[in-house]
Amino acid sequence: MKHFFTVILLILGTSVLKAQHSGNIVYGDNSSTKLHFSTQRSLTDSTFVIQANILVNVIADSYVVTFGVSDSSATIRESNEKIERRIHGFISSLSKFDIGPKDIYVDMTTQNKYFDYHIKGNVAEQYLKGFEIKKNVIVKFNNINDLDEIMIAASGFQIYDLVKVDYIVNDLNKINTQLFKLGMEVINQKKEMYTEATNSKLLPASQVYSEDLSTYYPMQLYKTYTAESSSKVYSEYDRFIKKDMRNTSTVYYDKINYSGFDKVVNPSVVEPAVEFVMSLQIKFQIEKPRK
Please indicate, yes or no, whether residues 105 and 141 belong to a single structural domain of this protein: yes
Could you tell me if residue 14 is inside a domain?
A: no
Mind listing the pLDDT tens digit for each residue in 224-266?
A: 887 766 566 555 666 677 676 767 788 888 999 999 999 999 9
CA distance 101 to 137: 12
**Close Cβ partners of 13 (under 8 Å, ≥ 6 residues apart):** none
Mind listing the pLDDT tens digit for each residue in 166-189?
A: 999 999 999 999 999 999 999 999
pLDDT at 152 over 60: yes
Q: Give the end of a domain, one of 144, 168, 192.
A: 168
Could you tell me if residue 233 is inside a domain?
A: yes
Range of the domain at 243: 19-60+170-286
Please indicate, yes or no, whether residues 105 and 135 belong to a single structural domain of this protein: yes
Q: Give the end of a domain, one of 117, 138, 168.
A: 168
- Number of Cβ within 10 Å of residue 274's Cβ equals 21
Mind listing the pLDDT tens digit for each residue in 101-133?
A: 999 999 999 999 999 999 999 999 999 999 999
CATH of the domain at 121: 3.30.70.2970
| pTM for the predicted model, two decimal places | 0.79
Helix (H), strand (E) at residue 225: strand 222-226
Please indicate, yes or no, whether residues 112 and 193 belong to a single structural domain of this protein: no
CA distance 63 to 142: 6
Residue 20, Cβ density class (10 Å: 0-12 exposed, 13-18 middle, ≥19 buried):
exposed
Q: Over range 40-58, report the average pLDDT.
A: 83
pLDDT at 283 over 90: yes
Closest CA to 87 of 110, 111, 113, 108: 108
Please indicate, yes or no, whether residues 175 and 277 belong to a single structural domain of this protein: yes
Q: Which of 1-10, 19-28, 59-68 has the lowest mean pLDDT?
A: 1-10
- Number of Cβ within 10 Å of residue 180's Cβ equals 17
Q: Give the end of a domain, one of 168, 202, 228.
A: 168
Please indicate, yes or no, whether residues 91 and 105 belong to a single structural domain of this protein: yes
The pLDDT, as a whole number, for residue 11 is: 28
Please indicate, yes or no, whether residues 43 and 183 belong to a single structural domain of this protein: yes
The pLDDT, as a whole number, for residue 117 is: 94
In the chain, the number of structural domains is: 2
